[in-house]
Amino acid sequence: MLLHVTKAGVCIFVLYQLPNCLDEYLMLYYLESVKNKEWLFLSFSLWSWFGWSIWVPILKKNASQI
């Protein structure tokens, strides 16, 4: 339970740091998901954000070398 609460807190913090357009999109998606998959969505959004923050710079760097 503590792990879920921690993930939720980090995810909420991340959502506030995103650009407004992404923030609104994710919030709408969250409201649709909250009925039965709240924790799944929070975990997915958290890990996908970390994934994008790692992979996008790598992909841009590789694309510029081609």
Phi, psi of 50 (to 5 degrees): -60, -40
Indicate the number of domains in the chain: 1
Q: Is this prediction's pTM over 0.85?
A: no
Please report, for residues 5, 6, 8, 9, 19, the alpha-carbon distance to residue 2 in angstroms, rounded to integers and kept in the order given: 5, 6, 10, 11, 28
Give the tens place of pLDDT for each residue, 25-66. Answer: 666 666 666 655 655 656 666 666 666 666 666 667 766 665
pLDDT of residue 29: 67
pLDDT of residue 7: 65
Range of the domain at 30: 2-65
